[in-house]
Amino acid sequence: MKAWLTTLPKVELHLHIEGSLEPELMFALAARNAVELPYASVEEVRAAYDFSDLQSFLDLYYQGMAVLRTADDFFDLAMDYFRRAQAEGVVHVELSFDPQAHLARGIELGVQFEGLTRAMRQAEREWGLSTALIMSFLRDRSAAEAMEVLERASPYLELLDAVGLDSAEQGNPPGKFVEVFARARLLGLPRVAHAGEEGPPAYIREALDLLEVCRIDHGVRCLEDPELVARLRDERVPLTVCPLSNVRLKVVERMHDHPLPRLLDAGLVLTLNSDDPAYFGGGVLDNYLACHDAFGWSKETFAVLAENAIQAAFMSEARRKELR
């Protein structure tokens, strides 16, 4: 099954590129940029990845990305990820990035865009990967700041496939960003948002109704609201589910308790993704394998999930046809 799942053409729709920063590269970039790390070794970094919830992860995630300073750093980060992804049979990657987290450290938008898009082009050339770029707003910062970032990104809009919404969910409902997302819509940008990871089903509704998103990142808490489940099913709204992330952030206790089988039974359009592979113990393939181990799903089920991701992706119809 592992061999079969490896060769199955897989699409990654929910990846924070900063969350793909492996401890080895973290150390290399820290040395290159003379950034001090609060860790003595790679092993010590990995040992620190013992999270109690989303916030405890986010604290280390924002600390880790402090080693990213130059366009080459962003390039190396993304290439490191693309190399691993293509080796495990990923054929299309939609990477999101958190510009505000870097702007706050004095790293200009142009630096971020240059490094990431250079890596995207190179991965397309070198491995035939297709890619898309999603600029995510930090929901625990102000809507005014998000709006300012969107305006400052105007020279780079051609490089963007969508905007997203991430970071600490509780107390930061999608509605807080209604104007920002309306502006993005006016600019012709598709929208996605994290909702129903730690937050309530009402946040999923807000993301659909107020932000007019075309996909929900996570969304697993929709099960608490049967009417919402019916709507997600009828409207065929894709959920980008990240099972290993949910276990590591204690959204669920164990893989065996994960709501994925119930979400599948409910007829939802599900996809399997890695979220922050360097922090949560694996990439897309590992997430597929974890589902196989926990739920014993058949090849047919995995083929449906992979096809869902192709359908839900920001990719050309020509590319879609190529992957089928």
Q: Is 108 an annotated catalytic residue? A: no
Q: Using CB under 6 A, pick the residue from 49, 61, 97, 288 that binds ligand ES4.
A: 61
User: Among residues 18, 114, 169, 197, which one is catalytic?
Assistant: 197
Question: Strand, coil or helix: what is 109?
Answer: helix
Nearer to Zn ion, 39 or 100 (CB): 100
Nearer to ligand ES4, 274 or 308 (CB): 274
280-298 in b/e form (b: 16+ CB < 10 A) is: bbbbbbbbbbbbbebbebe
- Does 273 contact ligand ES4 by CB under 6 A? no
**Contact yes or no for 246/220 (Cβ under 8 A):** yes
The residues pairing with 11 across neighbouring beta strands, listed in sequence order, are 92
Residue 112 and residue 149: Cα distance in Å, rounded?
13
Helices assigned H by DSSP within the chain: 2-7, 23-33, 42-48, 54-64, 71-87, 99-103, 109-127, 143-152, 178-186, 201-209, 226-234, 243-248, 260-265, 277-280, 284-295, 299-312, 317-323
The interface region with Zn ion, picked from 121-129, 157-165, 183-191, 269-277 by CB under 5 A, is 269-277
- Does 88 contact Zn ion by CB under 5 A? no
Which among ligand ES4, Zn ion, none contacts residue 114 (Cβ within 5 to 8 A by kind)? none
- Does 94 contact ligand ES4 by CB under 6 A? no
Q: Using CB under 6 A, pick the residue from 100, 112, 167, 240 that binds ligand ES4.
A: 167
Nearer to Zn ion, 94 or 275 (CB): 275
**Contact yes or no for 51/248 (Cβ under 8 A):** yes
- Does 275 contact Zn ion by CB under 5 A? yes
Known binding residues are 14, 16, 194, 275-276
The residues that are catalytic are 197
For binding to Zn ion (CB under 5 A), which residues are involved?
A: 275
Residues in touch with ligand ES4 (CB under 6 A): 16, 19, 54, 61, 166-167, 194, 197, 245, 275-276
